[in-house]
A and B are shown apart, each in its own frame.
Chain A
Amino acid sequence: MDATLREALAARFPAVDLDQDVLLVPAADHYPLAALLKEQGYTLYVTVAASHHPGPEGDAFEVATVLRRPVRGAPSVAWRVVLGADPHLQSLYPLFPGADLQEREQLDLVGVRFDGHPNPVRLMLSEDWVGHPLRKDYAPNMPHAPWR
């Protein structure tokens, strides 16, 4: 992370520990962080990955996003947001059109909802599929798995 970006991030998001490889960001800062990074030249939308972390206190979800600057050195910034049992997060579609299909895939497979997404429907599985396969409590031999 270069000095200008670090300064800008520290000024705007003082609560975030910038020494981590993958920044841990509160859900409210997810969209503003992406907007700031886009202003700073991180214009290449790389990926979004959600994951399910069941624990003794109930379900938790993580959504990780990666952005990249298309210049020498290919610097990238990755951050993650931890969500509770009813996971929903601001969609990045207004900033990055690539978020359209990517967020739909995570909605489909992990079941994280993206607020403000223009077309929040399943991408890979059929529309009447039950459950989200990448959750840890979903197994392929579940009795209701709709094999057709």
Chain B
Amino acid sequence: MDPIFQPFRDDPHYPLDRYEAAADLMLLNMGPQHPSTHGVFRLKLVLDGEIIVKAVPYMGYLHRGVEKMVEGLTFAQMTPIFNKHDYVSPMTNEQAYAVAVETALGIEVPRRARYIRTILAEIQRIASHLLWLSTFTLDMGGVIGGGAAMMMYNFREREDIFDLFEAVTGSRFHYNTHCIGGQRHDLPEGWVQRVRAFLDRQERAFDEYLRLIRNDIFDLRTKGVGVMSADLALGLGITGPNLRASGVDFDMRRDAPFHAYDEVEVRVAVAQGCDAYARYEVRMAEMRESVRILRLLLDQLPEGPICGSKPVKMANAVRVPDGRGYTAIEGPRGEIGTWLIGGGEDKGAKPFRLKIRPPSLHAMAAMSYLLPGHTVSDVVVVLGSLDPIMGEVDR
């Protein structure tokens, strides 16, 4: 990469007039409605020929004011709101919220419920990474020799996952299955066998994906593209697979176990490449690891109650007293955190302030550091490799 772009990679606010352009600079707006922006997102690109000099992200097109809205809702009413943040992994978003309120109240979740949560979270991780893989390869156009072929294969397995979730929760996408203190729905008869059969199919499918994706074009387009150092990733607050692809061996599932992760061994996938290819490697390895963890969890799934007492149905039965705290779990995209201040309206039945920490917003911040010096065609590769979900960025 040409060193004249280095100041822009180090500091996205570096003044543009210090750049000696070879030709006239051109301004290109990518988005808000561009097929590869995974939602509604605008990227302002300053181009010198085909090379990006500066990239400025603009967001907020999907802002729904959730943090304001929940200040008027009781704790039992919020779960269906939270699973629409990151609409690709609703399950883990519900869990992040449930864990936050349970921690604030000091509620212990029954062991079986913790296992069910872990199982659902791992299946959700596979579904989420499958959608990432399909859109990532789709963004690269004919990288696998034919448009949407990869997407069709991925969605075949993703449909199976929706069937599994539907059997448990009655809903294919917005589940609303977590309540404060446990689960709303127990696993139905024969579900565990269905999951085992799915895992066998999924394991075979990985090899199929690799046969589609392993080619020189894919390597050329991803290796050395969007290199993010570990220091930059940590400073930006990037977590999850993107952080592990920068060589940082950190995963909340292993390092700060929640749910039932303390009862299974989690082998964390780490790659040292720091580029788009490393992020691909980490996510592929994570899907295989999820299959392994799921088999272990299904083997040792305990019997027992799934909720501490009766599921909370009274609108203001849950009251969080005045106090503040931060809790986080590891979702498919990284750390989903909740900053909760209790003691809101109606004697604490509503939160005073609830802030969601979306991993995707931190990932979006990396765009302006990674893009200078790359060509326009690399934008979709870098954006796709970071796997942002705009619903979560804007909330």
Contact = CB atoms under 8 A, between A and B. Distances in A.
Interface of A: 21-22, 43-47, 49, 51, 64, 66, 70-74, 76, 78, 80, 95-98, 100-102, 105, 109, 118-119, 122-126, 133-134, 138, 140
A73 B339 contact: no
Given A46-B335, A119-B13, A140-B65, 11 more contacts: A43-B235, A45-B234, A66-B326, A70-B255, A71-B250, A71-B255, A73-B256, A74-B255, A97-B232, A105-B361, A126-B60
Interface residues of B, number: 41
Interface in B58-113: 59-60, 63, 65, 67-68
Contacts of B236: 45, 96-98
Contacts of B364: 101
Q: Is the interface of B mostly helix, strand, loop or mixed?
A: mixed
A66 B339 contact: yes
Contact of A96 (B235, B250, B252): B235
**For A64, A70, A76, A134, which residue has the most chain B Cβ atoms within 10 angstroms?**
A70
In order of increasing CB-CB distance, the 5 nearest A-B pairs are: A74-B256, A98-B237, A70-B250, A124-B60, A49-B355
Contacts of A98: 235-238, 362, 365
B391 interface: no
Nearest to B364: A101
B119 interface: no
B122 interface: no
A44 B239 contact: yes
Contacts of B67: 109, 134
B325 interface: yes
Interface in B226-278: 231-232, 234-239, 243, 248, 250, 252, 254-256
Contacts of A97: 232, 235-236, 365, 369
Interface in B292-326: 324-326
A51 B341 contact: yes
**For B325, B353, B362, which residue has the most chain A Cβ atoms within 10 angstroms?**
B353
Contacts, number: 106
Nearest to B248: A70
B337 interface: yes
16 contacts: A22-B326, A43-B235, A45-B235, A47-B357, A66-B339, A71-B250, A72-B254, A74-B250, A74-B252, A76-B326, A80-B324, A96-B237, A98-B365, A123-B59, A134-B68, A134-B353
A30 to B, nearest CB: 16
Contacts of B369: 97
A134 B239 CA distance: 26
A22 B295 CA distance: 39
**For A74, A102, A133, which residue has the most chain B Cβ atoms within 10 angstroms?**
A74
Nearest to A105: B361
A74 B327 CA distance: 12
Contacts of B65: 133, 140
A70 B362 CA distance: 16
A125 B61 CA distance: 8
A74 B335 CA distance: 11
A118 B68 CA distance: 27
A104 to B, nearest CB: 10
**For B68, B252, B256, B326, which residue has the most chain A Cβ atoms within 10 angstroms?**
B326
A74 B326 CA distance: 13
Contacts of A46: 237, 326, 328, 335, 337, 357
B325 A22 contact: yes
B394 interface: yes
Interface in B381-395: 394
B41 interface: no
B165 interface: no
